[in-house]
Structure 1
Amino acid sequence: MDPQNPDTPELTVGELIDQLSALDRSATVRLAVNPFFPMAHRVAGVVGARDEKGMPLVFLADGDQLGHVPPDVAVRLTWQEPTVAPPRGRRRAARPTGQ
């Protein structure tokens, strides 16, 4: 699933369970939202529903905002490109005034 491509099929509950099954069961769950200004949110709840065609849906409710999504997570979500800090050159020493 590509979160940037709206033509990509949506994630199913089965696929989500498969992906979550590979992770630490004691890990805290967070939502990563807004790829242009990535923020982390608590999951406030899980609700089953039906769409306008009667197909089953599951909503993960957005809770409190907790801060920024870590840069490595934004990269793995393909929201940002990996970045490397530019090399630092030697700093020049300041000259005393009057010379």
Structure 2
Amino acid sequence: MESSEMTVGDVIDLLSACDRTAPLRLAMNPFFPMAHRPAQIVECRDETGRPVVYLAEGRDTDSQLGHLLPEVAVALTWQVPVQAPPRRPRRTARGQ
């Protein structure tokens, strides 16, 4: 049975194509998308003895950076693209 989990090797491969000077962010919670600043990487073993690596958010109060950019939520398919409603012509003070 093949695992659907992303591996450390997958992450390294994907990150190797990115700008090395770009800050790393975590996108969390598809139903209330927020951006977080990672602070630690911890390697351990799970209940079955397999190695597992955790990327953790920092403890600082500024680790949660705020709402996730809408274009990121769309790219992650957490939200659908939304277009602004069409603009109507403005009315003048005389109702014309």
- Structure 2 length-normalised TM: 0.86
Of residues 22, 25, 36, the one that matches 1:27 is 22
2:37 alignment partner, SS class: strand
Higher mean alpha-carbon deviation, 30-39 vs 87-96, is at 87-96
Superposed CA RMSD: 1.4
Q: Number of aligned pairs? A: 89
- 2:44 corresponds in structure 1 to 49
Q: Deviations over 1:18-73 (max 9, x none)?
A: 00000001110011111111111110100001110011111011121011111111
Any unmatched runs of 5+ in structure 1? Answer: 1-7
User: Is 1:83–2:82 an aligned residue pair?
Assistant: yes
- 2:5 corresponds in structure 1 to 10
Runs of 4 or more off by more than 3 Å in structure 1? Answer: none
Partner amino acid, structure 2, of 1:84:
Q
User: Is 1:60–2:59 an aligned residue pair?
Assistant: no
- 2:71 corresponds in structure 1 to 72
- Structure 1 length-normalised TM: 0.84
Any unmatched runs of 5+ in structure 2? Answer: none
